[in-house]
Amino acid sequence: MPPVNDNSKSAKLYQRAKKIMPGGCSRNTILRKPHPLYADFAEGCYVTDIEGKRRIDFANNMASLIHGHSHPEVIEKVSKQLHKGTAFTLATEIEILYAEHLLSRNECFEKIRFVNSGTEAIMSCLKASRAYTGKPKIAKVEGAYHGLYDFAEVSQTSKPENWGDVNQPSSVPVAFGTPASALQEVIVIPFNDAEKAITILDQHKDEIACVLVDLLPHRVGLIPASDGFIQALRQWTIENDSLLVFDEVITLRTEYGGAQDNYSVSPDLTAMGKMIGGGFPVGAITGRHEVMDVMDPFAERVLFPHSGTFSANPITMTAGLATMELFDRSSVEKLNKLSVYARKKITEAIKIAEVPACVTGAGSLFRIHLKAEPPRNYRELIMSENETKMLKTLLDHLFDNGIMMINTCTAALSTAMTEKEIDIFAGVMLDGLRKI
């Protein structure tokens, strides 16, 4: 890493930030040592920081920008809405137009409600599942990230010293002070092991409201869930009066109707977020109408009162609709082909560099592992001390040479990219692999 310039604009800003925010920021993902860099402007797939350094953006704000930055059509439509108002204690037509569009992308999306983040979407799915089934517990995959909600975040950071037996994974808290009662309501199952998962679920079959699963879980290695695993979970939920919930906050970008397009079963509820906001905060819950109707305020008995001050605000709805209309079937196919090209180039670089590494992913997402073989689950994903050190070296090399990645060495492509950017990335990656 180049010598630290303590007189840089970013260093000075960070000194101010540390005095007024814990850690000097509101989200840990922007932190770097010795200080974060601050953005100045961005266009397409390029971001320029306040020091004047331009980088290709393979992070796209943690996979939330499907068209990159400052798309002219989105800017134009949002600008018009800004002059009309940003939020009202009245309904807006754009909410209906956008809801109709999202529901049209997948036949199992029957009704929808908007919220303000992926975390809130997951939280609402879990609360709706409890309301519909009358059961208290949820089941989730070990290591999978589902946001900040106490029940959803269990065991996303478990380690060998506390994760328990593989046949009975422990419910491990993330935040200090998480109530033991919350942990007791979360059943942890292994990823892509249907036999072990069903055995665990059977022990709680009268108590589980839903099984929550990400079809391409980033924190579990960006390995697709097998169709057999998902079929087994679907069958179990049907037989035991539970619900199947898909977390598509990230993975909706992988296919026109979400990653679930690639599977032979459908969920009862789906959580959305990130890219559907068109660059603005957003979340959404969709699914079977009879399950969604637990939120109906005109029902004889309202099972799940649901609201939110900025839910379905017209700025997010306008940006989201413009963004998703642009992300049509041909755009999805084109972007996914670019990702196949990227994974091919990365695999070639790994072969040339002769290092133990591999690449995983699907759709417009990929992740690089410093392991000879792809991990099959969260426990195989855990990095050794040497792997952690090498990954940091690689990420620093990429960043210093004009490539922005998600801090697990994961990329989320945008439609603003071309093979030119992929070739640049592959070249820098090859140099980085040789360096480590």
Q: Are residues 104 and 182 both part of a single domain?
A: yes
Residues 101 and 250 in one domain: yes
Tell me which residue has tokens 């922005």. Answer: 404
Please state, in angstroms and rounded to a whole number, the distance separating the CA atoms of residues 271 and 371: 31
200 and 348 together in one domain: no
Q: Is 27 part of any domain?
A: no
432 Rama class: left (phi>0) / alpha (psi -120 to 50) / beta: alpha
The pLDDT, as a whole number, for residue 5 is 52
- Are 289 and 315 members of one domain? yes
Are 46 and 100 part of one and the same domain? no
Residues 111 and 129 in one domain: yes
Q: How many CB atoms lie within 10 A of CB 209?
A: 25
Sign of CA dihedral 269, 277, 82, 79: negative
Q: Are 313 and 283 in contact (CB under 8 A)?
A: no
End position of a domain, from candidates 326, 361, 394: 326
Cα atoms found within 13 Å of the Cα of residue 408, Cβ hemisphere only: 21
Q: Of 295, 326, 357, which residue constitutes the final position of a domain?
A: 326
Last residue of a domain, one of 274, 292, 326: 326
* Inside any domain, residue 134: yes
User: In terms of residue numbers, what domain contains 365?
Assistant: 37-67+329-435
Same domain, 233 and 365: no
The number of folded domains in the chain is: 2
The CATH number of residue 300's host domain is 3.40.640.10
189 and 336 share one domain: no
Domain contains 190: yes
Within a domain: 14: no
Residue 16 lies in a domain: no
Query: Do 270 and 294 share a domain, yes or no?
Result: yes
Tell me which residue has tokens 């592992």.
369
- Angstrom distance (rounded) from CA 22 to CA 421: 36
* 259 and 285 part of one domain: yes
CATH number of the domain to which 413 belongs = 3.90.1150.10
The answer to whether residues 223 and 154 belong to one domain is yes
Distances (CA, A) of 84 to 179, 278, 320: 45, 19, 17
Q: Are residues 76 and 158 in the same domain?
A: yes
Q: What is the pLDDT of residue 436?
A: 86
pLDDT tens digit at each of 436 positions of the chain: 444 457 899 999 999 999 999 999 999 999 998 999 999 999 999 999 999 999 999 999 999 999 999 999 999 999 999 999 999 999 999 999 999 999 999 999 999 999 999 999 999 999 999 999 999 999 999 999 999 999 999 999 999 999 999 999 999 999 999 999 999 999 999 999 999 999 999 999 999 999 999 999 999 999 999 999 999 999 999 999 999 999 999 999 999 999 999 999 999 999 999 999 999 999 999 999 999 999 999 999 999 999 999 999 999 999 999 999 999 999 999 999 999 999 999 999 999 999 999 999 999 999 999 999 999 999 999 999 999 999 999 999 999 999 999 999 999 999 999 999 999 999 999 999 998 8
Q: Is residue 23 part of a domain?
A: no
Residue 144 included in any domain: yes
Q: Answer whether residue 372 is part of any domain.
A: yes
Q: What tokens appear for 413 in the block?
A: 């492509």
Q: Name, in order, each residue with C-beta under 8 angstroms of 219's C-beta and a sequence gap of 6 or more.
A: 143, 144, 145, 156, 378, 381, 408
